[in-house]
Amino acid sequence: AQNRLLIKHGKVVNEDEITEDDIYIEDGVIKQLGRNLIIPGGTRVIDARGKYVLPGGIDPHTHFEFEFMGAKSVDDFYQGTKAAVAGGTTMIIDFVMPKKGESLIDAFYEWRQKGDDKVCCDYALHVGLTHWNEQVKKEMEALCKEHGVNSFKVFMAYNFMLNDAELYSAFDTCQKLGAIAQVHAENGSIIAKNVEKLLAKGVTGPEGHELSRPEEVEAEAVNRACIIAKQVDCPLYIVHVMSKSAGLALKQACERGTRVYGETLVAALATDGSHYKHECFHHSAGHVLSPPLRPDPTTPQFLMNLLAQDALQVTGSDNCTFNKAQKELGKEDFSKIPNGVNGVEDRMSVIWEKGVQTGIIDPCRFVAITSSNAAKIFNIFPQKGCIAVGSDADIVIWDPSRTRTISAATHHQAVDFNIFEGMECHGVPEYVIVNGRVCVDEGQLRAVEGHGRYVDTPVFAPYVYDPERVADLKPVKNGTHDDSLPEHFQNKVQIEE
């Protein structure tokens, strides 16, 4: 029967341990875990011998059907989530992006309308704060209390960036609501000046993109965001950490006691800024995103090491895909190239290749950085992000012995370019189970439009610092290799009594 499933003989990987349990699934939920399970007749059995059984990937950073810089990203909620499922991701979190001055609630409903009937897997929404005033504050409260939102993204760059005083108020509001603040950390004022200067000098091609936003401009903003958030005790999540300097700034802020998490992108872990020098405009512009990929070729491994050390906790794709023809908007002026790259489909394979296959992280840490940590930070753990009785049956049966070669010619995304073109990856999802339904079956994609649901992300109790309580907090277990977590991570775990 469609709604009953038994997965046998696999190595079940959670963020804290690997076990050899069988998994019985009924009506979209994991009902039993163990050996020699007693199950009803007529249940479909999948043999996972020799394979890993992982919690489905959670990609906490996508922009489907997003109107940005004069273009609309081509992967919509159907194509985008279908591609996600094909690659082993069973939940995405997209960003509601209100137009400057638009009501947050109206924008939220626009995004629900784009997503609800189209998603092939579950999804949730962050909300961007593209301007700041009293109305925004009120709407943030309504979004938290009535619409299942617990995270807001602020921008320190682009023409909708907030100034330091506005950031302070936005963080303070998040803190009081029990929400988490996400930050796009780049110094927008410096970038604007650099762009002006470069264009005046005749630097108009994609190489100008990275030159205008060097890594210290990213690191400065990370540092400033951390300092501002610390004043009001707001938990912070730095999206798309793209450089060594930014990673180190974040790590140092953590060591000073800032409650901050870091997300890096699959793009940053597997490609670099050398592509901006490529002679073909489509190729170089195809790699333009912000913050940019870095010319320092040691950056990808450095960021993977930060993930291994728990100085970064999460990986996303920032999938925001524009076709070659759309990238041509910036043919004469690099600052007009629509910003964004692919990654929602390939994130799991590419991180497995660059992280596990190289030996930098183990399969448990892979699960932590591709699924469990995002679920914890956005407060949907253990419904999502783990294989346990009662959890949603979002599961990937992963074959580490098989390989595939990434190409725009064969990917499932709508976009006509792939920044991982030609990359060979170990690790192929042989089965992908989404809410109990087999949506990749022996490698065949059978995603179903509208099968996913909107998932509420509840707020946390507003954090109150109490040195007495720190000792009581249950540490987040974090992979077989590391039982002694850095204290900052323990302190950040919110336990409601």
Shortest CB 20 distance to ligand URP, Å:
40
Q: Assess 340 for contact with ligand URP (CB under 6 A).
A: yes
Q: Assess 229 for contact with ligand URP (CB under 6 A).
A: no
Cβ atoms < 10 Å from Cβ of 373: 28
Residue 384 is classified by DSSP as: S
- Say if residues 427 and 398 touch (Cβ distance below 8 Å): yes
Q: Assess 289 for contact with ligand URP (CB under 6 A).
A: yes
139 binds, among Zn ion, ligand URP, none (CB under 5 to 8 A by kind): none
Edge-to-edge strand list for the sheet holding 437-441: 18-19, 11-13, 52-55, 395-405, 424-434, 437-441, 444-445
Nearest to 439 by CA among 62, 74, 122: 122
Q: Assess 343 for contact with ligand URP (CB under 6 A).
A: no
- Say if residues 314 and 374 touch (Cβ distance below 8 Å): yes
**Residue window 421-460: x/- pattern of binding to Zn ion, with contact defined by CB under 5 A:** ----------------------------------------
Burial of 328 (0-12, 13-18, 19+ CB in 10 A): middle
Range 55-74, binding ligand URP (CB under 6 A): 63
- Say if residues 207 and 241 touch (Cβ distance below 8 Å): no
Choice between 58 and 393, CB closer to ligand URP: 58
Shortest CB 386 distance to ligand URP, Å:
27
Q: Assess 320 for contact with ligand URP (CB under 6 A).
A: yes
Shortest CB 464 distance to ligand URP, Å:
32
Interface pick for ligand URP out of 122, 263, 318, 362 (rule CB under 6 A): 318
In this structure, the chain runs to a length of 497
Choice between 55 and 273, CB closer to Zn ion: 273
- Say if residues 118 and 79 touch (Cβ distance below 8 Å): no
Shortest CB 292 distance to ligand URP, Å:
8
Q: Torsions phi, psi of 98, nearest 5?
A: -60, 145
Range 178-197, binding Zn ion (CB under 5 A): 184
Nearest to 374 by CA among 3, 70, 122: 122
Q: Assess 283 for contact with Zn ion (CB under 5 A).
A: yes
Choice between 161 and 423, CB closer to ligand URP: 161
Can you state the angle between helices 244-255 and 299-308, rounded to 10 degrees? 30
411 binds, among ligand URP, Zn ion, none (CB under 5 to 8 A by kind): none
Q: Name beta bridge partners: 54.
A: 396
d(CA 458, CA 462): 12
Interface pick for Zn ion out of 318, 346, 362, 394 (rule CB under 5 A): 318
Interface pick for Zn ion out of 142, 227, 280, 495 (rule CB under 5 A): 280
340 binds, among Zn ion, ligand URP, none (CB under 5 to 8 A by kind): ligand URP
Q: Torsions phi, psi of 37, nearest 5?
A: -70, 145
280 binds, among Zn ion, ligand URP, none (CB under 5 to 8 A by kind): Zn ion
Quick check: helix, strand or coil at residue 301? helix
Q: Assess 290 for contact with ligand URP (CB under 6 A).
A: yes
Q: Name beta bridge partners: 316.
A: 265
289 binds, among ligand URP, Zn ion, none (CB under 5 to 8 A by kind): ligand URP
Choice between 75 and 318, CB closer to Zn ion: 318
Residue whose Cβ sits closest to ligand URP? 339
283 binds, among ligand URP, Zn ion, none (CB under 5 to 8 A by kind): Zn ion
d(CA 406, CA 213): 29
Q: Torsions phi, psi of 179, nearest 5?
A: -100, 170
Q: How many residues bind ligand URP (CB under 6 A)?
A: 9
Shortest CB 340 distance to ligand URP, Å:
4
Range 167-196, binding ligand URP (CB under 6 A): 184
470 binds, among ligand URP, Zn ion, none (CB under 5 to 8 A by kind): none
- Say if residues 262 and 312 touch (Cβ distance below 8 Å): yes
Residue 361, CA distances (Å) to 268, 306, 358, 364, 480 in order: 16, 10, 8, 8, 10
Can you give the binding site for Zn ion, defined by CB under 5 A? 184, 280, 283, 318
Can you give the binding site for ligand URP, defined by CB under 6 A? 63, 184, 240, 289-290, 318, 320, 339-340
